Structure 1
Amino acid sequence: MAAVVATPDLRRAAVFAVQTLAVALGYYAAGRLGLMRQLVVEGAIFTPIWPPTGVALACLLILGIRCWLGIALGALFVVLSLTSLRPVVIGNLVGNTAAPVCAYLMLRKVGFRNDLARLRDGLALVFLGALTAMLVSSTVGVGLLILTDKLGTHSFWPVWLAWWVGDAMGVLIVTPVLLVLHGMRRPLHLSRWKEASGLALIAGALVPLATRSPVSLLFLVYPLLIWAALRFQLVGSMLCALFTSVMATIAATDGIGPFDRLTRVEVMIKLQAFNGTMALTALLLSAVITEQRNTRRSVELACQELVEVLEHLTAGDAPPGRPTKGTEDGGLTKDTES
């Protein structure tokens, strides 16, 4: 009996350990990718997009609050790859873990759905998951730099803004992509694959041109986002936004294209403004389109059911799913009573 009882417990413990390690490795891998491109503001190094925040929130929404330990371990791995473990580093670990956890709790409080099929879900992810919850990590991180005299008080707001926007961008761009990929259940039809391939080819040619041309052509990506949102909803628009954001970040950190001859602060402002508006456009437009399509399908289904009911009434039959009078009286008709 002891072995029978222990087996489910051991299985749950093993699943928890595997999930925790997977989340930690995913967080670490995302962190290493984010550190490949950096900007300097007021002497502080920051990443324009911090993907681990998006990975952390997506894991919480998919696996639940129990994966917070994996997030903390992943943040620890990232820090240990850069520096030694010190008290200020422990404070940053707490902030980087608490921010996505706060985002998860707030989203669950308002009834957030992972499929992002409603406009309210997109708005919740933007204003609660990204803009509000990421205040925790940026405030804790920059506050510790001020307290340990690693940053002057006059530099608080520029560095805090850069940190906050970088974490928020990770949520806006990475979290929707991971949620959509996790929720995909069926592949596209052959005709849709042809259109998707055409969209990918055009994006692959147009986005590098827009982000590297000395002439400011960043606005050219918005028709691609609209096309992707109209035809492929969230998965298409967010993948397009992710690719564009990566290319824009590479151009900004290299100081080329529309980011040439700008100061570091101007580069940060222009890049983050572009990434933010693009991510908001892709996310909210896709949510609106998906919500309208779901509403239309519900109306069409209701009309179809109404037509079936009217057909049965015209034929003199009872509508499907509704009992006849004889059945309501216990299954006895006048003939059977006699």
Structure 2
Amino acid sequence: MACVVVRQDLRAPVVFVLETLAVAACYYAGGRLGLLRDLTVGGAVFSPIWPPTGVAVAALLVFGLRCWVGIALGALLVLMHLTTLQPSSLGVLVGNTAAPVCGYLLLRRTGFRTDLTRMRDCLALVFLGAFPAMLISSSAGAGLLVATGDLPARSFWWVWLAWWVGDAMGVLLVTPVLLTLYRTRLPLRWSRWEEAVGLAVLAGCIVPLVTHNRASLLFAVYPLLIWVALRFQLAGSMPCALFASVLATVAATDRVGPFERLSDLEVMINLQAFNGAVALTALLLSAVITEQHNTRRSVERACQELVEVLEHLTAGESASGRPSREEDGRPQSRTG
């Protein structure tokens, strides 16, 4: 027994170190991906979708509060990649770590479930885990830029808004995809694989066309998104939404398609409005459809259980020799 206890005590630090390194590596990889595409607003460069925030919130929901060390380490690696570390970098590091941690604590207080099959969980992710929590990182980052003189005070609000929305989009678009992947179990059952492949091919044709066409055709994504949500719920709608948002971001940063003749500020507003609408449509519509399916299954199970109970009661009456209702109504013959 003592040997088992010692082995468990030795294994716990090893698991913690591996989890920390894995979270830091994923955070850093997300940061490198986010830095591939950027926009300039108010003299500051920002990422329209910041995947590390989504990685951080998903890691906290899966591993718990202990993985904040990995988040801080990953944020430090991203800062070292971007610039030389300075005393002001500590504030950015604290803000980038505290924002997802606060979002996680708010979600945990509401009884958040990572399967995202309830409308309340999706609303909590939007209005607790994304928008309010990311105010911390955006306020710390933009405030430090102004305090150090790297950003004019008149540009604070635009930079703050761009930073905040970029972090929030990372949570809304990346966290649901990662949680869905975490809950996926092999082997996959492809009962509708033909339809899934057809929708994937259709998305691969429609989304690049509407995001790189000069005509304003971004709205054409929504029928496809609704179809995917109706048929495959969260597992299909969120990857589709992420794909559409990434291609729209590529078009916006390259200044092609509907973003060709817009100013920097107009590009940011139009892109983030599209990304937010796509993320909310996919997330909330999938939750509504999943809740309806679960309600129908619950009603069907209740009806089946009721039928089984009635069958058992009928079988019990027959076995005890009690006459049934039909037999009670028949006239009894008398002899003698």
TM class by shorter-chain length?
Answer: over 0.9
Aligned to 1:51: 51
2:119 pairs with 1:140: no
* Residues in 2 aligned to 1:5 and 1:215: alpha-carbon distance in whole angstroms: 67
Aligned to 1:183: 183
Aligned to 1:234: 234
Secondary structure in structure 2 of the residue aligned to 1:269: helix
Q: CA deviation at 1:144?
A: 0.8
Distance change in 2, residues 1:316/1:270 (3 Å): same
Is 220-229 or 14-23 further displaced after alignment? Answer: 220-229
Is 180-189 or 117-126 further displaced after alignment? Answer: 180-189
Aligned to 1:266: 266
Q: CA deviation at 1:224?
A: 1.1
Distance change in 2, residues 1:144/1:126 (3 Å): same
Give the gaps of 5 or more residues in structure 2. Answer: 319-336
Aligned to 2:250: 250
- The C-alpha deviation readout for 1:117-172, integer Å capped at 9, x for no partner, is 00000000001011110000000111111111111111111000000000000000
Letter paired with 2:62: I
Secondary structure in structure 1 of the residue aligned to 2:192: helix
Aligned to 2:326: none
Alignment of 1:14-33 (within 5 A): 14-33=14-33
Aligned to 1:331: none
Secondary structure in structure 2 of the residue aligned to 1:45: strand
* Residues in 2 aligned to 1:238 and 1:259: alpha-carbon distance in whole angstroms: 24
2:292 pairs with 1:296: no
2:196 pairs with 1:159: no
2:194 pairs with 1:172: no
Q: TM-score, normalised by structure 1?
A: 0.92
* Residues in 1 aligned to 2:235 and 2:177: alpha-carbon distance in whole angstroms: 7
After superposition, the CA RMSD in angstroms is 1.4
- The C-alpha deviation readout for 1:68-121, integer Å capped at 9, x for no partner, is 000000000011111111111111000000000000000000011000000000
Letter paired with 1:32: R
Aligned to 2:124: 124
2:52 pairs with 1:87: no
* Residues in 2 aligned to 1:9 and 1:37: alpha-carbon distance in whole angstroms: 44
* Residues in 2 aligned to 1:72 and 1:44: alpha-carbon distance in whole angstroms: 23
- The C-alpha deviation readout for 1:190-223, integer Å capped at 9, x for no partner, is 4411111000000000000010000111111111
* Residues in 2 aligned to 1:287 and 1:190: alpha-carbon distance in whole angstroms: 22
Secondary structure in structure 2 of the residue aligned to 1:316: helix
- The C-alpha deviation readout for 1:13-54, integer Å capped at 9, x for no partner, is 000000000000000000000000000001000000000000
Q: CA deviation at 1:3?
A: 6.3
Secondary structure in structure 2 of the residue aligned to 1:132: coil
Letter paired with 2:277: T
Q: CA deviation at 1:187?
A: 4.9
Secondary structure in structure 1 of the residue aligned to 2:316: coil
Q: CA deviation at 1:244?
A: 0.4
Is 214-223 or 65-74 further displaced after alignment? Answer: 214-223
* Residues in 1 aligned to 2:267 and 2:244: alpha-carbon distance in whole angstroms: 16
The total of aligned residue pairs comes to 318
Give the gaps of 5 or more residues in structure 1. Answer: 319-338
Alignment of 1:92-107 (within 5 A): 92-107=92-107
* Residues in 1 aligned to 2:83 and 2:231: alpha-carbon distance in whole angstroms: 46
* Residues in 2 aligned to 1:24 and 1:189: alpha-carbon distance in whole angstroms: 32
* Residues in 2 aligned to 1:274 and 1:116: alpha-carbon distance in whole angstroms: 22
Q: CA deviation at 1:177?
A: 0.3
* Residues in 1 aligned to 2:247 and 2:115: alpha-carbon distance in whole angstroms: 27
Q: CA deviation at 1:243?
A: 0.5
Letter paired with 1:83: T
* Residues in 1 aligned to 2:37 and 2:252: alpha-carbon distance in whole angstroms: 9
Aligned to 1:149: 149
Letter paired with 2:261: R
* Residues in 1 aligned to 2:134 and 2:76: alpha-carbon distance in whole angstroms: 18
- The C-alpha deviation readout for 1:208-248, integer Å capped at 9, x for no partner, is 00100001111111111111111111010000001001000
Letter paired with 1:261: R
* Residues in 1 aligned to 2:190 and 2:306: alpha-carbon distance in whole angstroms: 34
Letter paired with 2:143: G
Aligned to 1:309: 309
* Residues in 2 aligned to 1:317 and 1:145: alpha-carbon distance in whole angstroms: 81
* Residues in 2 aligned to 1:72 and 1:28: alpha-carbon distance in whole angstroms: 10
* Residues in 2 aligned to 1:5 and 1:312: alpha-carbon distance in whole angstroms: 50
* Residues in 2 aligned to 1:317 and 1:23: alpha-carbon distance in whole angstroms: 62
* Residues in 1 aligned to 2:194 and 2:5: alpha-carbon distance in whole angstroms: 53
Secondary structure in structure 1 of the residue aligned to 2:216: coil
